Chains A and B, each alone.
Chain A
Amino acid sequence: MKSPAPWHVETIGSTGTPLVWLHGWGYDHKGLGRIAALFEARNINQLYDLPGFGQTPMMHEGASTSDYADRLVELSPKDQKSVLIGHSYGGRIAVQYAAKYPDRVSAIVLIAGAGLQRKRSLSFKIKASYLRMIGRLARLSDRIVKTNLREAYTARFGSADYKNAGPLRATLVSAVTENLTAEAANVKCPVLLIYGAEDTDAPPEIGKHYAKLMQKARFVELAGYDHHDILQRGAYQCEALIKSFLKEIPDA
């Protein structure tokens, strides 16, 4: 097997502790560019395109966040202890990385970080299991009598991310069904958790749950921001929180 391709990276800033920025699903390195630019004077900011996004080719089909973390460790200089900042899906990778490689990370920051299951109402759970059953039936019927029901099912019920995922579909499915409870409990480094109060994709309840599981976590909820505009309108508020957090990290 040939060695996997390196990830495309943009670097902003030339001195200071390296900050590794991991974007969310559907973005590329530019997704975190607005915030990272605010750290230009004080950090070396490495903004990656995650596999399958921007200029980085896909890893193997079905690659998980854990595989991404392994690859990221290979890509980072051996003597470097990184600070990882992940938005949404990028947050999953940061949690995996911090749990698996505690001596290669000095702190992590999750902005609207995903990775834990949300509390769902009973009616939501019933609806979801009913839909899953229809999906399985559609696939079964496709296999046995060569219908095309599964595609119609996806078009009708699939999320936008799922529909757009293309060859990354297996990776997406493994991510949304994954549960990082055990990994979160293994994160030993300090963690900053920033969540927008109006985020419906990664609501503050996920951040609060992370804060309970992790050993050294600080949770902050920012009023008036959702999953995406927290990276734009909320850039300065994130800047303030991250800077005051980094001040307290001895080797950052």
Chain B
Amino acid sequence: MAAQKVIAVVFGGRSVEHDVSVLTGLQFLEALDPTKYTGLPVYIDPLGQWWTGSALTKRSRYPIAAGTAKDLTQLTLDLATPASGRPQFITFQKGLMGEKRTNIPFDLIVPAIHGSNGEDGTLQGLLEFADIPYIGCRSLGSAATMHKIFAKNAARAAGINVLPELSVKRPAKGSFLDPATLEADLKSAFGAIEFPLIVKPCNLGSSVGVGKADDMDAVISSLMTAFRLDNEALVEPFVANLVEYNIAVRRAPTGATVTSAIERPVREAELLDFKNKYLAGGAPGGPKLDAAPSEGMVSLNRTLNPSELSDKQNSFIRTSASKLFDQLSLAGSVRVDFLCNEKTGEIWLNEANTIPGSFAYFLWEAAAKPISFLTLTDELIQEGFALSAARLGATDTKSGGATIFAAG
């Protein structure tokens, strides 16, 4: 049997979605094929410090006070590839003879951090620089999908239906948004101004910082809220009778772009009810956190393969998701979210998540050709190795004819 590959799953992180990311990371670790891979949990705490230890695999241990937990070891990622070519983490442990350095070698990183500093191309760029194999989108696709306006423009160019938007930059320090200019800009973007409008930060993944504005004053105050989180924001028309649909898309080992089941997530208010019931630990016999991934929680959170979609809507969602995936050269398991006006049936592409919650495994398990999470993790890892190996090719100076210092 070939030597087991060590798969470092990196989760947590400096992101508003820190907690969800912990669950996503642990789920990935639990779905690793033990005959092929050894999982290494790597937790980035909200301060940005890196840790490892078997305690990380217990959901009941969170929130972890990493600094005081005796069974956790602090790590740094070695950015200089060792001559062995195998990437490694470095730990320092205090001993009798002073600090002792230990290397923890691994083979591939699984970024399981949602939102900023993880899903936005920064971590991916770092890993590319260090020549460390990783799964999912490369830095370009990650950054492009995180920037909502850039992603929408790319979608438009590919002929995918998206809502019109107005991009607003954070005003320079000491200056304010000018309501008259804003109104004129909105008119030129949307024709006539029809309230309500939706205001979103440009770069955040989740619904954090998103506001609904019923008049100009509210638009300005929502923009100011968004500017606290991001230096660019966008204003979009409000979709009446809103229903959302999500789908996952990826490249199969055959090279073809394939799509998963479609889900209709439960609405915000229903979601709140769900959280009260199951996450706060109220209902006896309700799913315990340590029992996840559980079919029960997954099905309570969403409707899979909703029956109300027409064939035309269904194929619109599938083609649009695949087109965007190809247009932005995405990789991994990407979830693409759509907005729909339930009454008129019109559908717009909303955004793409390159590291979706739970890697959207439940969408793949419910696909027309079901793929188990076990197979999904294996294929994502294989794809990650292949993409990282194919990135640069030869990097020695000779191959570029740029040798200046010749030996001997």
> Which chain A residues have a beta carbon within 8 Å of chain B's beta carbons?
34, 37-38, 40-41, 220, 222-224, 229, 232-237, 239-241, 244
Contacts and interface: CB of A to CB of B under 8 A. Distances in A.
A237 B30 contact: yes
16 contacts: A224-B54, A232-B291, A232-B292, A232-B293, A233-B290, A233-B292, A233-B293, A234-B30, A236-B33, A236-B372, A236-B377, A237-B30, A237-B31, A237-B33, A240-B34, A241-B35
B48 interface: no
B374 A236 contact: yes
Interface string B6-32: 000000000000000000000000111
Contacts of A239: 372, 374
Contacts of B30: 233-234, 236-237
A240 B374 CA distance: 7
Contacts of B293: 232-233, 235
B241 to A, nearest CB: 35
B33 A240 contact: yes
Contacts of B290: 229, 233
Contacts of A224: 54, 57-58
Contacts of A38: 372, 374
A160 B58 CA distance: 25
A229 B34 CA distance: 16
A61 to B, nearest CB: 30
Given A40-B370, A233-B292, A240-B36, 9 more contacts: A41-B370, A224-B54, A229-B290, A234-B30, A235-B293, A237-B31, A237-B33, A237-B34, A239-B374
* Residues of A contacting B: mostly: helix
Contacts of B117: none
Interface residues of B, number: 21
A209 B231 CA distance: 63
Interface string B275-312: 00000000000000011111100000000000000000
B373 interface: yes
Contacts of A234: 30
Nearest to A220: B34
Contacts of A222: 34
B295 A34 contact: yes
Contacts of B373: 236
B54 A37 contact: no
Contacts of A233: 30, 290-293
Interface in B201-256: none
A241 B374 contact: no
A225 to B, nearest CB: 9
A240 B292 contact: no
A229 B374 contact: no
Given A41-B370, A239-B374, A223 B33 contact: no
B35 A244 contact: yes
Contacts of B34: 220, 222, 237, 240-241
A82 B260 CA distance: 34
A170 B57 CA distance: 39
A176 B328 CA distance: 61
Contacts of A241: 34-35
Contacts of B54: 223-224
Contacts of B374: 38, 236, 239-240
Contacts of B57: 224
A241 B36 CA distance: 10
B295 A236 contact: no
Nearest to A39: B372
Nearest to B28: A236
Interface centre among A222, A235, A236 (most CB of B within 10 A): A236
A221 to B, nearest CB: 10
Nearest to A243: B374
A41 B33 CA distance: 18
B370 A236 contact: no
Contacts of A237: 30-34
A137 to B, nearest CB: 38
A85 B377 CA distance: 25
9 closest A-B pairs (Cβ-Cβ)?
A: A240-B33, A236-B31, A236-B374, A232-B291, A224-B57, A237-B34, A233-B30, A244-B35, A239-B374
Contacts of A41: 370
A169 B313 CA distance: 58
B370 to A, nearest CB: 6
B112 to A, nearest CB: 16
Nearest to B291: A232
Contacts of A229: 290-291
